[in-house]
Amino acid sequence: MMETVSPLKPAEPRDKKLSIYVVTWNVASAAPPLDLDHLLQLDKQDPNLDMYVIGLQEMSCGIMSLLSDTAFEDPWSSFFMDVLSPLSFVKGNKGGVNICLKLYGYYVSIINCHLPPHLANNDQRLEHFDWILEMQNFEGPDIPNILDHDLIVWFGDMNFRIEDFGLHFVREAVKSQCYSELWEKDQLSIAKRCDTLLREFQEGPLLFPPTYKFDKNSNNYDTSEKKRKPAWTDRILWRLKRQPHTDSCTPRRPAPHLSLSLRSYTSHMMYTISDHKPVTGTFDLELKPLVSVPLISLMPEGLWTMENAMLINYSLTPDFPSSPWDWIGLYKVGLRHINDYVSYVWVRDNQVSFNDGLNQVYINISDIPETEDQFLLCYYSNSLRSVVGISNPFKIQPQAFLEEDPLGEVQPQI
C-alpha cells in the first residue's frame, strides 16, 4: 500500500498514543526495598510503557536527614523560622510540588501532594487543594495558568479518611471486600459531589483495599494504641481541560484532540516498608500533535573519533527562545540525570557557523576514555529550563594511531 500526499497541503500529523504509568507512595522515611520490579512493572515481559511519573512523600535523603528530621528541626528551617516567626509566619509540613511540561504542543501539569492528616481536618485538606491550584505559577514565556493546562495529573498522600463508620465496621468491610458502603463515606468522594472545581477531577474505581494505616513490615492494619481506621489516603486524579460553554444548557467537553483513559488503578500489598501501600495508575493518552517538528534537532557530523574536538550540527525552529546560557551535553546512553554529561559546550561561545537555522559548534571530547558505549547529545534550554532536543545514539571510535607494517609502510589503525 502506498500513501500519497498532495503537494499543496502538508500531511497532518498522525495521532499519538502514549502509555503513562503513575506511582504514588508515602514511604515514611524508609530506605528503598531490594526489589521494585513489581512496582515498576519490570517483571512483565512487555510492560508497554512510554513514561513513568513517580511521586514519593515523606522521603528521607539519608541517615543525617532522618536524624535531623526526627531529633531536631533541620538547620535551614530553624534559620528561616528564627527570622519569620516574630512576623507571625508559621511553617507547615504539607503541600504540593508541580512539574509543567509541553507534550506535542499540549501543556501537561503533574502534581505530587501531601495534604494535612487526621479525620477532623477535612476542610483544611480542601483548602490546601484549592490553594495549590491557585498559587502555582510557572516561569517562562507564555505558560498558561495551571487550570488552563490541557491535562492535570494530581496524585499523592491526600489523607482523606472514611467518615461516620467505626473501626470494627470498616475493618470487617475491608476484610470481606465490601467496599461500596465505604465509598459513600470517603471524604474525597463526598467532596467531589459538592465542590465545583474538585468535581472536574476524575478518578478510577477504588477496587483495592484502603492503603493506610498498616503496621510496618506487615499487612496488618494499625494495631497501635491509636488504632487508626483504614482509609484510601493515597490517590491518583486527573483533569482534562474543558472547552468553553457554547451556551448555558450545553455541558463543557474535553478538547477533541486529547483524551486520557485509565487502564488500571491498584495498590501493591507486597511492599511493607511503610505504613502506606504504593498506588499505581496506568493511563493511555491519545492526542493529535499540535507540533510535529522538535524545537531543536541535533546531528553529530561525520565519523566521531577521540580527538580534541568534534563538530555538531543543530537546527532550531524560528520561534525558539534561545539564550546565551543554552548548552549541549554529550552523554552515555543510559544517563540518569541532566548533570551526567561527559562533556558539554556553550552554544554561543563555541559557535563556528550558522545559516538559515543550521548551526555548528565544536565540543571537546579528548578526555573521554576509550569505550564501546553509545553516546547521545542533549540540548538544554536555559529559558525553558528543560532538555529540548536529543540526538539519535551513536558511537565514538577509539583514537587512530600509527603502526609500521611488515613491508615498512606506516598504516593508520582504528
Q: What is the mean pLDDT of the chain?
A: 82
Are residues 102 and 175 located together in one domain of the fold? Answer: yes
CA distance 114 to 116: 7
Of residues 402 and 231, more confidence is placed in 231
- 307 lies in the same domain as 278: no
More confident residue, 243 or 43: 43
- What number is the average pLDDT over the span 82-101? 67
Kindly state whether residues 283 and 304 are assigned to the same domain.
Answer: no
The amino acid that residue 19 corresponds to is: S
Taking only the tens place, the pLDDT of each residue in 33-68 is 888 889 988 888 888 888 899 988 987 655 445 454
Are residues 57 and 204 both part of a single domain? yes
Q: So what's the pLDDT on residue 379?
A: 94
Residues 222 and 175 in one domain: yes
Per-residue CA distances from 332 to 338, 372, 375 (Å): 11, 10, 4
68-77 pLDDT per residue, tens: 454 445 554 5
Q: What is the mean pLDDT of residues 293-322?
A: 78
> What would the mean pLDDT of 237-243 be, rounded to a whole number?
87
Are residues 312 and 261 both part of a single domain?
no
279/359 same-domain check: no
Compute the average pLDDT of residues 313-321: 86
Helices (H), 8-99: 63-71, 75-84
Q: What confidence score (pLDDT) does residue 292 get? A: 77
Among the candidates 287, 320, 342, a domain finishes at: 287
Residue 316 lies in a domain: yes
pLDDT of residue 260: 96
pLDDT tier at 9, thresholds 50, 70, 90 = very low
Residue 75 is predicted with a pLDDT of: 53
Is residue 182 within 8 Å of residue 165, measured between CB atoms?
yes
Residue where a domain terminates, one of 221, 256, 287: 287
Cell representation of residue 223: 494495631
Pairwise CA distance, residues 358 & 317, whole Å: 10
CA-to-CA dists, residue 74 to 60, 79, 200, angstroms:
12, 9, 38
Quote the strand ranges of 158-256, DSSP E.
234-240
In a domain, 74, yes or no: yes
Residue 258 lies in a domain: yes
Residue 410 in domain: no
pLDDT at 359: 87
Residue 414: pLDDT above 60?
Answer: no
Q: What torsion do the CA atoms of 296, 293, 320, 336 make, to the nearest 10 degrees?
A: -40
pLDDT at 338 over 90: no
Q: What is the pLDDT of residue 93?
A: 55
Q: What is the C-alpha to C-alpha distance for residues 137 and 147, in angstroms, rounded to an integer?
A: 11
Check pLDDT > 80 for residue 287. Answer: yes
Residue 14 DSSP class: P
Asked whether the predicted pLDDT for residue 22 surpasses 90, the reply is yes
CATH of the domain at 331: 2.60.40.2840
Contact 128, 95 (CB under 8 A): yes
pLDDT at position 11 over 50 = no
pLDDT value at 89 more than 60:
no
Residue 178 has pLDDT above 70, yes or no: yes
When divided into structural domains, the chain yields a total of 2
pLDDT (average), residues 227-244? 91
Contact 362, 404 (CB under 8 A): no
Same domain, yes or no: 113 and 139:
yes
Say if CB 20 and CB 282 are below 8 A apart.
Answer: yes
Place 2 in a pLDDT band, splitting at 50, 70 and 90.
Answer: very low
Residue 350's pLDDT band (cuts 50, 70, 90): confident
386 falls within a domain: yes
Do both 135 and 201 map to the same domain?
Answer: yes
Distance CA 262, CA 275 (A): 26
Enter the pTM of the model: 0.81
The grid coordinates listed for 151 are: 491535562
| pLDDT at residue 25 is higher than 50 | yes
Q: Which three cell numbers stand for residue 342?
A: 561527559
CA distance 213 to 159: 11
With 60 as the cut, is the pLDDT of residue 80 above it?
Answer: no
Cell numbers for 330, please give them: 554529550
Higher pLDDT, 347 or 396: 347
Where is average pLDDT lowest: 304-308, 336-340, 406-410? 406-410
pLDDT at 14: 77
Average pLDDT over residues 380-407: 73
The pLDDT of residue 256 is 59
Q: Burial of 209 by CB count in 10 Å (0-12 exposed, 13-18 middle, 19+ buried)?
A: middle
- If one compares 317 and 260, the residue with the highest pLDDT of the two is 260
Q: Does residue 400 lie within any of the structural domains?
A: no
Q: Where are the beta strands (DSSP E) in 91-139?
A: 95-103, 106-114
Task: Please indicate, yes or no, if residue 412 is contained in any of the structural domains.
Answer: no
* 150 φ/ψ angles, rounded to the nearest 5 degrees: -70, -30
Q: What is the band of 84 on the pLDDT scale with cuts at 50, 70, 90?
A: low
Q: Look at residues 287, 320, 338 and tell me which one is the last residue of a structural domain.
A: 287
- pLDDT tens, position by position, 93-114: 567 889 888 888 899 999 999 9
Least confident among 2-11, 80-89, 141-150: 2-11
Residue 403 confidence class, pLDDT cut points 50, 70, 90: very low
- pLDDT at site 254: 52
Residue 193 to residue 211: CA distance in whole angstroms: 22
Domain presence at residue 147: yes
- Verify that 218 and 162 share a domain, yes or no: yes
Mean pLDDT of 127-152: 84
Candidate from 119-128, 208-217, 341-350 with smallest mean pLDDT: 341-350
Q: How confident is the model at residue 310 (pLDDT cuts 50, 70, 90)?
A: confident
Domain with 364, as residue range(s), is: 296-395
Angle 157-162-165 from CA coordinates, rounded to 5°: 160
The whole-number pLDDT of residue 186 equals 97
